[in-house]
Amino acid sequence: MQKRIVLKNCGLIDSKSIDSYLRRGGFAALEKAQKFMTPEQAIEEVSASGLLGRGGAGFPCGLKWKIAREQRSDEKYIICNADEGEVGTFKDRYILENDPFTLIEAIAISGWAIGAGKAFIYLRAEYHRLFDRLLNAINQAGRKGFLNHLDIELREGAGAYMCGEESGLMNSIEGLRGEARYKPPFPPQKGLWGKPTVINNVETLMNIPQIILNGSSWFKAMGTARSKGTKVFSVSGDVEKPGVYELELGSRLSELVCDLASAREIKMVQVGGACGRIIPVELIDTPLAYETVLGSGAVTVFNQTRDVIDVMHRNMKFLAEESCGRCTPCRDGSEAMLEILGRLARGEGAGEDIGALEDLSSVMTLSALCGLGQTAPMPVLDTLKYFRKEYESRVEQSIFLRTIG
Amino acid sequence: MIGLASDQIISEMAYKGWDMELLKFQIDSKEMEAFEGMTILQAAEKAGINIPTLCHHRDFIPTGACRVCVVELEGSERLVGSCHTPVAKGMALHTRSPKVLKARKATIELLLAAHTGPCVMDFRAAQCDLHKIASDLEVGPPRFHIKKPRFYPIEDASPYIRRDLSKCILCSRCISACNELAGKGVFGAGYRAFDSKVIVDNDIPLNKEVCKDCYLCVEYCPTTALSKAKNAGDKKRGKKMAAVLPQPRLQDTRCGNLLPMLKKAQSISRHVSAKFMAKTAESLNLSVSEVFGVTTFYSFLSTRPLGANVIRVCKNLPCYLKGSEIILKGIEEAIGIKPGEVTRDKKYSLELANCIGACDQAPAMLINQEVYGDLTPRKISKILKQF
């Protein structure tokens, strides 16, 4: 069953008019925070709620804020990451289309809490059509006096998956190539232009007003031991009803793809996008949570007719093209994996291919500079685990074809 | 100039070093002490432990690009780059554990496979650090292959420097040397992913106009990608001109305007022209190669003119599963061009896009800024008629 917390207002308010948002209790959380709480108390409330980042990495939101709050600096920044580039993810688009005001309120609260005077919303270029809607929401909120403490600037990407990764995103705002930076230092210590910076995903922020209004114990009551609250999923692929669904964390994958999205004859499901995990149909009852599998909430379903190696080849093509090119394991490793998967897909495999894929996965996971390079081999590793026979028989077929040809 | 970051903390801390406590930690089971802010690499050097490096040089801000210097940190799932990770209290580090050696070897193999070789017959290979590390680690012929290893024609137009980018491992030390030491900014990083390349201006061959004879880049190049030209003079060592160092980009918030400016140029003139890049570089106090590097990083910016209407067909899995290839074929037939091309009347450009976030309406495409979803071959001609 769906539980709409983040998507509470979607479809019920006019995304172009702040009045309709105010009628549904909009900006009450900002008011409550500013009137009845100290920034420290607000951060404590977010920490106590157990809210984890919804963009994929799952870092505790309250901790990020706390670190940034504690830094001594003349300037601090808030960045809302609206660059959802993960393949199969469109939940943030849905949120921005339908409820930009909650987001603005959340940014206003977070800016106030960490003591930032400036916020950026980094919108991906593919969503340029939403630029005016967001700008309108910022302007309306400003005119109503909700943004007196914070200047929100709307920035736009120019087509780079890498800019959804926080260090690439900061480089992009600074006017540099959207390449990865090493950590530490972490953005809450030294981020944008070397200043303390909190970067939150759209969906993470959407939870903030209600945590402030209803309290952390209300939020904590939903979900599992480590995964509190709800998650918005983007379901696509071989399903009858693709779309955006919000479920309590810990709900079963089968509920999402079979009951809600009406998938049939499933072979496997990719959860978390191009860098995500592969769940074979035998494990379709896996709970969706940080403890198991979640990522950005992209859920792509593949039916029985799909060829695992073809799917992995296309997946790797995306990752190889979108690598920022800075570090060796990701730049050259994804290209080397693409070469192997391409040959396997064409039936030109060789005996050592599977071992080479595993070795490449290992070096990328262990040594790549950023989270993208480190997780890029995950789908290949998962399919090697669950569909190894398909790889092995492809290699055998290739060898057989060569001997007769 | 792109790496930035932790060196600042490190240097700040190094200066404040005297009032900082000494940190105790372990490298290869040796008990060690170091000041806060010291990198693992620096600490290891102090202990007489050699960690191989390629992209790192003590004279430059670390970039963390090559990943050869990774070491194992107990308790951490991933390896950490020793050239940029500061030591912390209680760390237990291993610089030559089986895990480290395996990853390091694989990285070296990738670097060997990715450039055009083999260098066995090249007398210059003796000077190449990559080859030295490869033989130290007993790396044989790489197990991995790359479809099209980096190959570029040799650039010998300059009377001073010969560039053979087929031997380049993208360590970016030449970029650092030219920016941070010579203060000239001749080199920059261009393009993206495997196409990444060290560029000069708008990716032109190195020539006399853009580069004089300081040779700093040659000195710092760990491979044979850069060497003195045959007839170059006998000047021994380049002059470091740190005095004319440009302000660190980190502080310069004006550069934040660069991407919006490029995007505007793209929307007005359908591409980012060489002239515009030169002008922008001047106005923001950047080098042309930096501006070109940013432009070519992003797929929505183009250095050649696009058509009046840009069609971007999504090619990723959610759209592929719903038949994006048939849609692409339909569009190709309707307007008579392949992806990457522009129609003769300049009316359309066709591009393949990576996920446009319309997977619930797959197969989908963007035309200019609008999404067209749930496409069928029949719908295509209807949609195209609107333009």
B354:A161 CB<8 A: yes
Cα dihedral across residues A200, A204, A210, A214: positive or negative: negative
| Rounded mean pLDDT, A126-133 | 97
pLDDT reading at A373 higher than 80:
yes
Segment among A142-156, A314-328, B107-121 with least mean pLDDT: B107-121
In the stretch 371-390 of chain A, residues with CB closer than 8 A to chain B read: 374
Residue of A166, A151, A222, A163 whose CA lies nearest to A5? A222
| Segment (H or E) for B199 | strand B197-200
CATH topology of domain B4-96: Ubiquitin-like (UB roll) (3.10.20)
User: Given this model, what pLDDT does residue B213 score?
Assistant: 76
Global pTM reads 0.94
| Confidence (pLDDT) at B120 | 62
**CA–CA distance, B33 with B24 (Å, rounded to integer):** 5
- pLDDT, tens only, A7-58: 999 999 999 999 999 999 999 999 999 999 999 999 999 999 999 999 988 9
List CB contacts (< 8 A) between A263 and chain B.
none
Q: Which bin fits A185, alpha (ψ -120 to 50), beta or left (φ > 0)?
A: beta
CATH number of B309-385: 3.40.30.10
User: What is the pLDDT at residue A254?
Assistant: 98
Other beta carbons less than 10 A from residue A138's beta carbon: 23
Residue with the two structure tokens 């990764």 = A165
Q: Of B146, B153, B226, give the one whose Cα is nearest residue B193.
A: B146
The C-alpha angle with vertex A141 and arms to A139 and A147, in degrees rounded to 5, equals 100
pLDDT value at residue B253? 72
Taking residues A104-130, report their average pLDDT. Answer: 98
Residue B131, SS3 per DSSP? helix
pLDDT digits (tens, 9 = 90+) for A59-110: 999 999 999 999 999 999 999 999 999 999 999 999 999 999 999 999 999 9
Q: Give the whole-angstrom CA distance, residue A180 versus residue A165.
A: 8
> What does the pLDDT look like over B326-337, one tens digit per residue?
999 999 999 999
What integer pLDDT is reported at residue B245 of this predicted model?
45
Across the interface, whether the CB atoms of A90 and B357 are under 8 A apart is answered yes
Contact A314 B320 (CB under 8 A): yes
- The answer regarding whether domain B150-246 maps to CATH 3.40.50.720 reads no
CA atoms of A235 and A231, how far apart (whole Å): 12
Domains of chain A: 18-220 (3.40.50.11540), 230-303 (3.10.20.600), 309-404 (1.20.1440.230)
Which of A128, A160, A369 is facing B297, going by the closest CB pair?
A160
Name the amino acid, one letter, at B75.
G
Rounded Cα distance, B320 and A103, in Å: 32
DSSP bridge pairs for B365: B313, B372
Nearest CB among A127, A193, A306 relative to B253 is that of A193
Residues 6+ apart with CB under 8 A from B170: A325, A328, A331, B65, B189, B196, B197, B198
Q: Closest chain B residue to A321 measured between Cα atoms?
A: B193
Region A168-193 average pLDDT: 95
| pLDDT value at residue B235 | 54
Are the Cβ atoms of B110 and A329 closer than 8 angstroms?
yes
Q: Is residue A176 a contact partner of residue B248, using CB atoms and an 8 Å limit?
A: no
Q: What 8-state DSSP symbol labels residue B22?
A: E
Q: What one-character-per-residue DSSP string does A78-96 give?
A: EEEEE---STT--HHHHHH
What DSSP character marks residue A194? Answer: G
Q: Is the CB of A160 less than 8 angstroms away from the CB of B298?
A: yes
Q: Where are the domains of chain B?
A: 4-96, 150-246, 253-297, 309-385
The C-alpha of B44 sits at a distance from chain A's nearest C-alpha, in angstroms, of 19
* Chain A residues whose beta carbon lies within 8 Å of the beta carbon of residue B262: 158
**For every one of its 387 residues, what pLDDT tens digit does chain B have, with 9 covering 90 and above?**
233 334 444 444 444 444 567 899 999 999 999 888 899 999 999 899 999 999 999 999 999 999 999 999 999 999 999 999 999 999 999 999 999 999 999 999 999 999 986 676 677 778 899 999 999 999 989 999 999 999 999 999 998 999 999 999 999 999 999 988 888 889 999 999 999 999 999 999 998 777 877 899 999 999 999 999 887 765 555 455 444 444 444 456 778 999 999 999 999 999 999 999 999 999 998 999 999 999 999 999 999 999 999 999 999 999 999 999 999 999 999 999 999 999 999 999 999 999 999 999 999 999 999 999 999 999 999 999 999
